Amino acid sequence: MENSYNWEISITLGPCSNRPAGDHEWSFKPNGGITEIKLCRGGVIDSITFKSVDEKGNIETSNKFGGDAGDNEHVISLNWPEEYLMKISGTQQTYANIYCIQSLCFHTNLNKYGPFGPTNGTPFELSMKDGVIVGFHGRSGIYIDAIGVYVKNSADLFGPSSHVQILTPQVNTGMMMNMDKPIELGPWGGNYTAKPWDDGAFLAINQVDVHVKNGILLGIQLRYQTKNGNSVNSERHGDKSGDVLYRIKLDSSSEYLIGIMGYYRPIEANGGFEAVCSLSFYTNKGKYGPFGDQIGMFFSSPMTNGKIIGFHGRSGDYLDALGVHMEYS
């Protein structure tokens, strides 16, 4: 496992929260595998602490992230590397006028731990196909306001001949780690069998049009730059009849998309089927959005040193699901 903790090949997912930045940002990038998670909670997650152990048996303990309250303490112990984290899920809720993490659940290759805390809030989950969670990040004040994970591909972490049995449940991304060609990630969203589409991969993305009505994202349209310098418009994915059109213009010589985050949920006007209702677009310079109300199941594309060069997904009257084509230098 000599490449285990080369953080340059880790993937960043999240953090999941629609609470704006400004709280204390924290990160735990250990030199070994995660062996313990300690939660303190009341009505929400008040604090979280992590432990890890490296190949020499050295134990590393994180700071306590969050506040000092919480009458209930939960400790999860993992026998690394036989047991390792693969996914976290939970709910978010407004508590004491603060939008924060209400509950958490930890999924390993062997067990599910939790949920810890009430579960009537907005659900989210963070995972990657063939991924192992190797670290955490987030924001906190007196509560845990946002949480995200660092993930590595299991083959990069354990190696192809490892004694560790890689057990991979079905999760909600399509990550592959072949960096020689564009990587297709996602799509994320509803499972309704709407019409699939794929714009393909291009040199750059110059413009994103987002159509929103009554706080719900209806559709998107992209303007791409081809390798010969021409501009081409994609089809409109979803409905274009929104009350509001948001247009993101990108100077591809200096700004490019690196990730998307959003929410999907059942839409009554979509026959009760799930569709993407909110999107945020992240570039190497900042964030655009959110476009649409952030209610429902959270999703996020991996935030890495890559560049989004195309989109794919499923759509009908709404944008049912959205994925990306990533290019890595």
- The domain segmentation of the chain, as residue ranges, is 11-158, 183-328
The per-residue pLDDT of the chain, averaged, comes to 85
Intrachain domains 11-158 and 183-328 with the same fold:
yes
CA 207 to chain centre: 23
CATH of the domain spanning 11-158, picked from 3.10.450.50, 2.30.110.10, 3.40.50.450, 2.100.10.30: 2.100.10.30
Would you state the CATH architecture of domain 183-328? Aligned Prism (2.100)
Spatial separation of the C-alpha atoms in residues 127 and 114, rounded to whole Å: 16
pLDDT tens string 53-69: 998 899 999 999 999 98
pLDDT band at 101 (very low <50, low <70, confident <90, very high): very high
The region that residue 7 occupies, defined by phi over 0 for left and psi between -120 and 50 for alpha, beta otherwise, is alpha
pLDDT tens string 155-189: 777 765 443 433 333 333 333 333 446 788 888 88
Spatial separation of the C-alpha atoms in residues 139 and 118, rounded to whole Å: 20
What percent of the chain lies above the pLDDT cut of 90? 51
Q: Are 140 and 147 in contact (CB under 8 A)?
A: no
Tokens found for residue 296: 């429902």
Q: What pLDDT does 193 receive?
A: 66
Helices (H) then strands (E): counts for the chain: 1, 26
| Pairing assessment for the beta strands 297-300 and 131-140 based on DSSP bridges | unpaired
